[in-house]
Structure 1
Amino acid sequence: MKKKDKLLIILMTILPWLSIPFIGKKTLKRFLPGSLFMSLYLIAEGRFAEKKKWWWFPYSIKPNVLAELPLIFGPFLVGALWILKYTYGKFNLYLLVNILIDSFFTYFGLKWLKKIGYVSLARLTRFQLSIVFLIKTFVLYGFQIVYEKCCHLSKNSSL
């Protein structure tokens, strides 16, 4: 991976965080637990995927550290916050937005990440990756429902 491409990976991690001041404190407080839960889920999934050779990262950040951490703690975590902010409580819209974003990543973003030498699919097809993303869509929404019921948060609270 070239230095220019490493810089792009760093920017991919940092740039989404620049949008956090615009998300609002109430939204952050409401949806951060679900987004953090999904980050932990993605770390566990990454370990599992590494063993099953679903995808391949040609480098690692450090030994025994997942190379997908920039994706997990950059666009995936911040993206989950924004998606929940605008679609939670409207499941059909939530599902549509996730399918569109996940499909864009799977069929276009992944090509670019492969081109720069960041990641490539190994034993997983793009369609199978889409199914993996769809499962995560349901896990995040389900977690948020359970979290709000357990913590007695009003799902109709104004943000």
Structure 2
Amino acid sequence: MNQIILWSLLILPWASLFFLKMETVRRYMPVALFMTVIHTLAYQAAYHYGWWEETDSSLFGWDKVVPVPWVYGAYLVIVIWVFHFTFGKFWVYLTVNILLDGLYMYLVYPVGQRMGLVSSESTLPTIAIVAMMVGFSLIIYLYQLWQDDVFKQPQRNS
């Protein structure tokens, strides 16, 4: 059953992108990929420093450090959806991120622990992990501001 849930966490979020315009996906995919890199590095650091382990989230056997279904499925796609609805409204974006990060760490993660989908070992307090996640959301918001500025179409004089 856990494998079905993990595969669903990898595939279903991607399927949800069919409900967005391709232009929206194209606009926010770079920031989602950037967040994936940040998450991958955070999981590597967590593994190295013993903050937590995600051995129960493995789909392939080689993904013991970074949980592929979460990082390359759910998290990546959630970034696109959150940016779609909140980008350009910073305080709404920040509020949504704080709520989602808090709900994830205080509600979803404990359920995942009981189901054996995620590790139950962590040396960091939950609030520290939420703060880290909110910090990541601020970094990627700045990145998206930069992206939009860099790829802004120049105005043509007619």
Same-fold status (TM-score > 0.5): yes
CA distance in 2, matches of 1:67, 1:134: 19
Deviation of 1:63 (Å): 3.6
Q: Which residue does 1:147 correspond to in 2?
A: 147
**Post-superposition shift, 1:90?**
0.2
2:54 and 2:77 mapped to 1: Cα distance? 22
Please tell me the residue identity of whatever aligns with 1:99: I
In the alignment, which residue of structure 2 is the partner of 1:27? 24
After superposition, the Cα gap between the structure-2 partners of 1:128 and 1:153, relative to the gap in structure 1 and judged at 3 Å, is: farther
Which residue is equivalent to 1:7? Answer: 4
Deviations 1:82-115 (A, max 9, x none): 0000100000000011111111100011101111
Residues 68-79 of structure 1: matches in 2 within 5 Å? Answer: 68-79=67-78
TM-score with structure 1 setting the length: 0.88
Alignment counterpart, residue 51 of structure 1, candidates 48, 52, 64: 48
Change (3 A) 1:24 1:64: closer
Give the direction of change, closer, same or farther, for the CA distance of 1:113–1:153 in structure 2 (3 Å limit): farther
State the number of aligned residues: 151
Structure 2, unaligned runs of 5 or more: none
| Alpha-carbon displacement from aligned partner over 1:52-104 (angstroms, at most 9, x marks no partner) | 11112234433465341210111101100000001000000000111111111
Instruction: Name the Cα RMSD after superposition.
Output: 1.7
In structure 1, stretches of 5+ residues that fail to align are 155-159
Partner of 1:131: 131
How much identity, in percent, do the aligned residues show? 25
CA contact (8 A) 1:57 1:67 kept: yes
For the 8 Å contact 1:110–1:120, the answer to whether it is kept is no
Give 1:14 deviation, angstroms. 1.2
Question: So what's the TM-score if we normalise by structure 2?
Answer: 0.88
Counterpart among 38, 50, 55 of residue 41 in structure 1: 38
